Amino acid sequence: MSDTVPAVLVVEDNAETQLLLEHILAPNYEATLVASVDAATQACSEMTFQLLILDINLGEKRTGTDLLNALREPPHNVTAPAVALTAYAMPGDQQRFEQEGFDAYVSKPFSQDDLLGTIQRCLATAS
Q: What is the pLDDT of residue 3?
A: 59
**Cis before 6 (ω within 30):** no
Rounded to the nearest 10 degrees, the angle between the axes of helix 112-126 and helix 15-25 is: 60
pTM of the model: 0.94
Confirm if 32 and 8 have CB atoms less than 8 A apart: yes
Q: What is the pLDDT of residue 86?
A: 92
Q: Which residues of the chain carry a pLDDT beneath 50?
A: 1-2
Label the pairing between strands 30-34 and 7-11. Answer: parallel
**Cis before 75 (ω within 30):** yes
Alpha-carbon gap, residue 33 to 31, rounded angstroms: 6
Task: Give the pLDDT confidence of 62-85 residue by residue, as tens digits.
Answer: 999 999 999 999 988 999 999 999
Q: Report the half-sphere exposure of 14 (CA within 13 A, side-chain side).
A: 13
**Boundaries of every domain in the chain:** 7-126
Q: Which CATH number fits domain 7-126: 3.40.50.2300, 3.90.25.10, 2.40.50.140, 3.90.1150.10?
A: 3.40.50.2300
Q: What is the pLDDT of residue 85?
A: 95
- Residues in Cβ contact with 19 at an 8 Å cutoff, skipping those fewer than 6 apart: none
DSSP bridge pairs for 110: none
